[in-house]
Amino acid sequence: MTLRPAKQQKGGYVIKTLREKGAETIEGLKREGVLDQTREVVADGEFLWIPVKKKIKGAKKRVMPQKKMKHLRKSLKEEFGLKAFDVIGETIVLFLPQELEEKAQEIGEYLLKLYPKVKAVYKEVGKTKGTFRVQQKKLLAGSGSETIHTEHGLKFKLDVTEVFFSPRQLTERLQITKFVKKGEKVCVFFSGIGAIPIYLAKYTEAKEIIGIELNKKAHDYALQNVKLNKIEPQRVQLINDDVRKVARKWEKEKRTFSLVILAEPKNEPSMFQEAKTILREKTGRILLSFVGTKAIYERRIAEIEKEGFIVKKIFEKKRLGPQESRYLLLCQ
């Protein structure tokens, strides 16, 4: 259905995307602060034209309907000074600075009005704790913690209070698929709700895909997500166990992989050595991602090169925290 145009027309930059990726694209533009909320989104067959505030990659000039300002609610940044939050399916998760704690409930209710499709708003509470290092969360408004998140045409069911999942890593997840060769045997450490194994099953020609995850709840969601995305069971094997234990067992059995994907949890001991023990000799590679400062990044590079690997930086997402970035490295 084409959106009803307003009477006034306004020119500016827009980007074109598929309808099925519309919600995901809009939320991404909001997080980047470039979505133009003064103009309407316009449907054109199977595509959407989405207005942006400035020229960005892929943007084109186009006249778009002007929104009626009386219906335009202020953004979270304009109203409360907040701009960073995650939209995961029908839930929002945000971090509140101490000075806004008194307005926590008000912010939650405001977000529900701002995003009618969102059913619940949570805030992060304290530090991660427990064996599975899941960030504690407190409900601010709405109800429900289980949802289905959609990105790049894939669906992921999860409970935001029980498992770890970051919508901000969607670029990294898609990037990883570009380094998987046809016929490869791939092992994913800390596979969580199955996001990376499912990406590999859908977008690569890997021969064998195995994911290892200790969190039983995340593992159960991964099994559901394989079915949800209509992936043949033989394409992905999911193991609910400790990666250390599994790696030791496979090392004794001399079972190897041509590629190990290792997304290291923040502030946790590295599993690089465990990944190395199950690599195919000479041709094996490790795709490693982690969060750290520039000094930590340089130290990790030196440590990995000392192990005899050549390291190539594939991806860097900056400003994740005080002087921190997220790095994706190819070690071969």
Q: Are residues 217 and 277 in the same domain?
A: yes
Residues 138 and 219 in one domain: no
pTM over 0.75: yes
CATH of the domain at 273: 3.40.50.150
Which residue pairs, CB below 8 angstroms and at least 24 apart, start in 96-105? 96/123, 96/124, 104/140, 105/140, 105/141
Q: CB-based contacts of 255: which residues, under 8 Å, 6+ apart? A: 278
Q: Would you state the pLDDT for residue 23?
A: 82
Same domain? For 22 and 65 the reply is yes
Residue 115 lies in a domain: yes
Q: 220 and 314 share a domain?
A: yes
Asked if the structure places residue 53 within a domain, the reply is yes
How confident is the model over 263-309, as pLDDT tens digits?
Answer: 998 878 899 999 999 999 889 999 999 999 999 999 999 999 999 99
Residue 174 and residue 251 in one domain: yes
- Establish if 307 belongs to a structural domain: yes
In a domain? residue 265 = yes
CATH number, domain containing residue 40: 3.30.70.2580
Structural domain of 246: 164-331
Same domain, 188 and 326: yes
Domain-embedded: residue 156: no
Mean pLDDT of the chain: 89
Residue of 209 and 168 predicted with greater confidence: 209
- Provide the pLDDT confidence category of residue 220 given band limits of 50, 70 and 90: very high
Q: Does 29 lie in the same domain as 129?
A: no
Pair 115, 175 in one domain = no
Residue 3 lies in a domain: no
**Residue 179 belongs to some domain of the structure:** yes
| Residues 84, 198 within the same domain | no
Q: Total structural domains in the chain?
A: 3
Which of these three, 71, 98, 124, is where a domain ends? 71
Residue percentage of the chain with pLDDT more than 90: 64
pLDDT, tens digit (0-9, with 9 covering 90-100), for 32-87: 778 988 888 988 888 999 999 988 988 999 888 877 544 445 778 888 988 788 99
Looking at the fold, whether 180 and 307 belong to one and the same domain comes out as yes
Q: Is residue 257 within 8 Å of residue 187, measured between CB atoms?
A: yes
Asked if residue 157 belongs to a domain, the reply is no
**59, 97: one domain:** no
Residue 244, pLDDT > 60, answer yes
